[in-house]
Structure 1
Amino acid sequence: MQDNYLAKWLNDELTDAELAEFKKSEAYETYQKIKATASQLESPEFDMDKAWESIDQTKTVKETKVFILSPFKRFLRVAAVVALLIAGSFFYLSTLNESFSTEYAENKFITLPDTSEVILNAESELAFSKNKWDTNRNVDLKGEAYFRVAKGKKFTVETAQGLVTVLGTQFNIESRENFFEVTCFEGLVSVTINGEETKLPAGNSLMTIAGNSTMSKAMVNGEPSWLSKESSFKSIPLHYVLDELQRQFNVEVNAKNIDTTQLFTGSFSNENLELALKSISLPLQIKFNLDGNKVLFYAEEAP
């Protein structure tokens, strides 16, 4: 991309071909957001004619021929817009959320502005507004996270499948595709799914799979097993178990001639892949093949 594309774009002087090339650049989307934010800012009034008249009045009595070049006026306009964009970019960046994410086989520890603590499980995302935390105590979560909420502090965790409102408690949330589970280990949480609210006291878990919800017991003052490097399941469809294996070990997992909707109860180590594969295959009486970073589970009669 040519260096003068930005200035020409600001002046609406790009040709169709140049505009198409400019839109392909990595910076174009950022410029668009900054320009949109800057358009909401009010710039001080500036009368160009009065400014030039003031300059004329300060000239000496001795007459000097002065040539006013129109490109300079154009430069002033571009400079003013660029300055406005810089101010707009500062405003825009100051409103961005704090965001954190984890890859496969990764956990991450996060401290919220009120000193509450969050631990992200593998392949998860968390975001919140640090600058607006006092008035907007919302946390966006994709994936799984364990929360230790500071005493007396209240905020809401928003997921694609439900809301969890908390006050000085410890709990775990997992929100994956067609799977949503909230487990309260201490205190009380309020879970809202499709407008229906459920109070969840310590020692209880609410799980929703493909729209069907069930309640179960959990350990009071405990913590999720994945914090101890172990993934545990109770009557969970096998394909969710295989997905978690893939997340924890960063491997490609496939199944052949196996009913992945069958329910699995058990656990596997998040640190030893060979042991994890046996922990899944032996109870189900199936086989597995490990080839590099690829795992295939298959029925014994399969080739």
Structure 2
Amino acid sequence: MQENHLAKWLNNDLTEAELAEFKKSAEYASYERIITASNQLEAPDFNAEEALIAIKNQRTLKDAKVVQLHPFKKFIRIAAAAAVIMFGSYFYLNNLDENIVTEYAENKEVVLPDNSKVQLNADSELSFSERKWSKERNVELKGEAFFKVAKGKRFTVATADGIVAVLGTQFNVENRPGFFEVTCFEGLVSVTFDGKETKLPAGASFIVIDGKITKTSASKMQQPSWVTNESTFKSVPLKFVLSEFERQHNVTVEIQDIDTEQLFTGTFSNTDTDVALKSISAPSQIKFKFEGSKVLFYGDKNP
């Protein structure tokens, strides 16, 4: 990389050829992430023009000799670029949140700073700030997770559909497109949905399907079934069952001539694809065709 590529990139002065060369460098990706993070952060007011004038004046006072302007401007650009990178790195590292992601057919266990444990289901994402944890025990969840919360101050789980708040308990939260469910297994859970708070004792669940609250009976389970590699449903539209099958088995699901709004009650294996297909198709009275990484569910007519 030419020594002035960084400064010219920051000033948007690179030619197309220089930009292409710069993007091939090992440092480019790091510079781009830091600049992106820096642009999203609030920083103290800083007048770059005044700072450059001050540096120039200071150098002039120290050195009375006449020097060429071009080399000095080049030095200033590189110094300014270095300052931006250092400044951006400081704020980037100090505001970086922890972000844990699972892929299809993958689970992860996460230990939070207070030793609370989180089991993250497939195709899910958990975010929190370790730096702010002592003041705010907050996490953000996309997908599904089972929480075993250490006793202490208020602990909250924020999702796109609602907020779950507890002190010390065990509960499961699932937040998928069109589906939101919170189940309390121990202690007491508070769920805020659409501005209204609902308290759940152990064994109770709060379910919202396509924006509507759905009543459900109490459960005697000690933990969600997916923790032991099974997915369990009770009167849930088939479309959510097929989506979960897709996540757990890392396959592409296609449908033909079936009613995905029909309610499904049952369990399928998260590890044995053949058994899972039969567990879904039999009670739903549908057929399936499994080829490679694709599954076609269809009705009476042959595909």
Q: For 1:235-290, what per-residue CA distance to the aligned partner results, in whole angstroms no more than 9, with x for missing partners?
A: 00001000000000001111111111100000001111100000011112221111
What is the alpha-carbon distance in structure 2 between the residues aligned to residue 103 and residue 16 of structure 1?
37
What is the alpha-carbon distance in structure 2 between the residues aligned to residue 148 and residue 294 of structure 1?
35
The Cα shift of 1:192 comes to 0.6
The Cα shift of 1:21 comes to 9.9
Q: Residues 11, 239 of structure 1: CA spacing in aligned structure 2 closer, same or farther, 3 A cutoff?
A: closer
Alignment of 1:255-270 (within 5 A): 255-270=255-270
Is the contact between residue 4 and residue 78 of structure 2 (CA under 8 Å) also seen in structure 1?
A: no
Residue 277 (str. 1) matches residue 277 (str. 2): yes
Query: Root-mean-square deviation (CA), in Å?
Result: 2.8
What is the alpha-carbon distance in structure 2 between the residues aligned to residue 98 and residue 51 of structure 1?
43
Q: Residues 162, 35 of structure 1: CA spacing in aligned structure 2 closer, same or farther, 3 A cutoff?
A: closer
Residue 129 (str. 1) matches residue 133 (str. 2): no
Is the contact between residue 38 and residue 85 of structure 1 (CA under 8 Å) also seen in structure 2?
A: no
The Cα shift of 1:22 comes to 8.0
Aligned amino acid, residue 75 of structure 1: K
Which residue in 2 is equivalent to 1:183?
A: 183
The Cα shift of 1:164 comes to 0.5
Alignment of 1:1-303 (within 5 A): 4-11=4-11, 13-14=13-14, 28=32, 30-34=34-38, 37=41, 40=44, 42=46, 46-56=54-64, 66-81=65-80, 82-219=82-219, 222-303=222-303
Q: For 1:1-36, what per-residue CA distance to the aligned partner results, in whole angstroms no more than 9, with x for missing partners?
A: 976442113345446997899899755464243366
What is the alpha-carbon distance in structure 2 between the residues aligned to residue 96 and residue 32 of structure 1?
12
What is the alpha-carbon distance in structure 2 between the residues aligned to residue 233 and residue 169 of structure 1?
23
What is the alpha-carbon distance in structure 2 between the residues aligned to residue 169 and residue 97 of structure 1?
24
Aligned amino acid, residue 71 of structure 2: F
The Cα shift of 1:54 comes to 2.6
Can you give the 5+ residue segments of structure 2 that lack an aligned partner in the other structure? Answer: none
Q: Residues 276, 29 of structure 1: CA spacing in aligned structure 2 closer, same or farther, 3 A cutoff?
A: same
Can you give the 5+ residue segments of structure 1 that lack an aligned partner in the other structure? Answer: 57-65
SS in 1 for 2:215: strand
Aligned amino acid, residue 213 of structure 1: I
What is the alpha-carbon distance in structure 1 between the residues aligned to residue 231 and residue 67 of structure 2?
74
Between 9-18 and 194-203, the greater mean CA deviation after superposition: 9-18
SS in 2 for 1:48: helix
The Cα shift of 1:39 comes to 5.7
Aligned amino acid, residue 40 of structure 1: P
The Cα shift of 1:85 comes to 2.4
Is the contact between residue 180 and residue 207 of structure 2 (CA under 8 Å) also seen in structure 1?
A: yes
Which residue in 2 is equivalent to 1:61?
A: none
What is the alpha-carbon distance in structure 1 between the residues aligned to residue 107 and residue 84 of structure 2?
41
Q: Residues 122, 36 of structure 1: CA spacing in aligned structure 2 closer, same or farther, 3 A cutoff?
A: closer
Which residue in 2 is equivalent to 1:59?
A: none
Q: For 1:205-255, what per-residue CA distance to the aligned partner results, in whole angstroms no more than 9, with x for missing partners?
A: 000001111232444571000001100000000010000000000011111
What is the alpha-carbon distance in structure 2 between the residues aligned to residue 54 and residue 144 of structure 1?
63
Between 139-148 and 290-299, the greater mean CA deviation after superposition: 290-299
Is the contact between residue 165 and residue 191 of structure 1 (CA under 8 Å) also seen in structure 2?
A: yes
Q: Residues 12, 212 of structure 1: CA spacing in aligned structure 2 closer, same or farther, 3 A cutoff?
A: closer
TM-score by length of 1: 0.87
The Cα shift of 1:74 comes to 1.4
Between 207-216 and 7-16, the greater mean CA deviation after superposition: 7-16
Aligned amino acid, residue 80 of structure 1: A
Aligned amino acid, residue 133 of structure 2: W
Is the contact between residue 34 and residue 85 of structure 2 (CA under 8 Å) also seen in structure 1?
A: no
Aligned amino acid, residue 8 of structure 2: K
The Cα shift of 1:134 comes to 1.6
Is the contact between residue 7 and residue 78 of structure 2 (CA under 8 Å) also seen in structure 1?
A: no
